[in-house]
Structure formats: structure tokens, C-alpha cells
Amino acid sequence: RWALTALLCLGLLLSVALLHAPGPVPGAKPMLRRALSGSAEAWPITPLPQAVVLDARKVALGRQLFHDPRLSRDNTVACANCHVLSAGGVDRQPVSTGIGGRKGQLNAPTVYNVAYNDRQFWDGRALSLEAQVDGPLHNPDEMGSNWDEVLGKLKEDAQLRREIEALYPAGLVAASLRDALATFERALVTPDAPFDRHLRGDQQALSPVALEGWRLFRELGCVSCHQGVNVGGNLYEKLGLVEDFYGSRGTPRPADLGRYNLTRDDEHRYEFRVPPLRNVALTAPYLHDGSVATLDEAVQIMARYQLGVRLKPREVQQLVAFLEAL
């Protein structure tokens, strides 16, 4: 019995040591990584699929709904207002503007490659793209509507009603709209980036500067949190892990508390879903509050507050070149 207890304790200690193991950078403090799936192991970075198989009719219907302002209470705000497809899937504002000119609390993340996040929203509260739809629709600072209102308006559109009834046996109901929107979002994949080609063996896909950035990305420990097919989106992490971010930025707001607002667990205070880095060069401003204007600045802030590293200008240039290859 004592031998078994000793083995169990040893296994627990080894697990904790691995979870909190510091990266290879001298002087960097231990990094807590909380997996969305409940596991602490790191995923490798893999290429985005070069094609996805979806029902083209549902994709087209979802695209139509994505651009339809009738999903909002006053018929002024569509999903596409905050997730502009021609601008990297974001609106490039610190926070988005909803109905009546109301301002949101958090920066709008990109909708591209969103299907490869383990969960949705900065606090990870939605377990699927279908569940995510309800968030902006009900949020009073965004669309400020509800399904009864939305369905009532759309039922007056005979053509749209026929299209939905042809695809969904249940007809024009909330579940049908959720599915169509989620199917469209699953189609928003951006394959064949230079880094994807590099991962598939193309030795010429990355510039020498980007290759150095990829090396640094791994050696500094960035890859501890930013991995998986979306180079992020599958872990939770605290902002200000090594140094007090809010001590520099200013007094935290309620929105800065992150997952704590959802769980009320003190361990989750200031903790957010690690943002995916695909197309990150197109999605400024950065961080959950949109407080960082440029990618250069974001790289330096992450190195300082998450890893305890002050980067040299050349290292910033290399890391940005790598991120641009995503």
C-alpha cells in the first residue's frame, strides 16, 4: 500500500513539474497552460486543410444571414459589421459598435479559421459555433435582439423562408439559422499560407528572416501556448503571467477579469482563451481590449508580460516576419 501511495505521489509531482516547466529562455518564469479540453499537453502546429467539404447551399444561406442586419433589434447591425471579411475577419477597432452606437467590452476576434478553435469567445463559454451565435444576437451592446424577434421578421421574407425550408425539415426555426451560420463560418478557411507550405516540406516557403522568427517562436516558448492548427485557440492563459500587465496599462475593468466573470473562480482571474495567430498581421488592434495598435508592439508585450523577456529590435523583426507568414 505504501509503495503504491509513493508511486502515485511521484506521478502527481512529475505531472505538476511538467505543467509548470519553464521554457528554454534563461530567467523566464514558469508558464501555466490550461488546456480547453482539460489536458495540459501541447499540440503540434499543423497546416490548415487545403479544402473542407460542406453543403454549398447551407454555406450560401449562412453567408446571406451573416450579412443580414435583420438579426439585430433595429435592423442596423449584421455579423459582417464586426467581422469584415475583406479586413481579415475583424472591424479593426479596439471594440465594436453595436445597435444605437453602443460600444462592446472586448475586441472582436477574427471569424477566419474560427472552426479550429476548441471553444469560442475570449472566455471560451461557447462550446460550438452553433452555440456562439446566441452570444452577439442577445448581447444588448451588439445586436440586442432575441430569436422571437428575428424569426418574426424573417418569416415575412417568403423567398428566404422557402430557401430555409428546402434545406431544413424543421423550417425557419432558430436551430436552422444557427446551423446555416455555423456552416458558413466553417467555410472561412485560409489555407496554403507560406507557413503551411513550410510545414508541408517546401524549404523555400519562408524567408530567412521568417525562418529565424519561427526558430525564436519555439525557443522563447511562444509555442507553449500558440500551437495547434490555428496556432492558438485551444488553451487558456492569464494575461500578465510573469509581470503585472494591468499595473502598466491601468486599473482593470470588469471585462479584464476574463474567465472569472464566467466561473467566479479566482484561479481564472485575468485568464483568457489564447488567441489564434492565423492572419494575425491583418487583425490589429490586439489583445482582448484592443489596446495594442501594432503587431511589433504586441510581440514585445507578450514577450515581456508572458515570458519575462525583453526582445531586441532584430528579434521583434524576425518574429513579426514569421507571424506575417501565417
Mean pLDDT of 188-210: 97
Mean pLDDT of 212-227: 96
pLDDT at position 118 is: 94
Mean pLDDT of 111-125: 96
The DSSP-derived string for 3-72 is: HHHHHHHHHHHHHHHHHT---SSTTPPP---EETTS--PPPPP-PPPS-----HHHHHHHHHHHT-GGGS
Asked whether residue 15 carries a pLDDT value surpassing 50, the answer given is no
Mean pLDDT of 260-278: 97
User: What whole-number distance in Å separates Cα of residue 45 and Cα of residue 226?
Assistant: 8
pLDDT at position 34 is: 56
Q: Nine-digit cell at 69?
A: 442586419
Among 142, 237, 315, 324, the active-site one is 142
Q: Nine-digit cell at 70?
A: 435583420
Asked whether residue 25 carries a pLDDT value surpassing 80, the answer given is no
Mean pLDDT of 185-189: 98
Read off the pLDDT of residues 69-83 as tens digits, 9 standing for 90 and up. Answer: 999 999 999 999 999
pLDDT at position 251 is: 87
Write down the pTM of the prediction: 0.87
Read off the pLDDT of residues 31-58 as tens digits, 9 standing for 90 and up. Answer: 445 555 444 344 589 999 999 999 999 9
Query: Are the C-beta atoms of 178 and 172 separated by less than 8 Å?
Result: no
pLDDT at position 248 is: 86
Mean pLDDT of 245-254: 90
Distances in Å between the Cα of 266 and the Cα atoms of 21, 39, 113, 254, 269 are: 22, 20, 31, 14, 5
pLDDT at position 211 is: 98
pLDDT at position 33 is: 54
142 catalytic per annotation: yes
What is the CA 97 to chain-centroid distance, rounded?
19
- The mean of the pLDDT values for the chain is 89
pLDDT at position 43 is: 54
Mean pLDDT of 312-318: 98
Mean pLDDT of 168-190: 98
Select the more confidently predicted residue: 20 or 121: 121
pLDDT at position 38 is: 43
Which residues 6+ apart lie within 8 Å of 58 measured at CB?
A: 167, 179, 180, 183, 184
Select the more confidently predicted residue: 35 or 196: 196
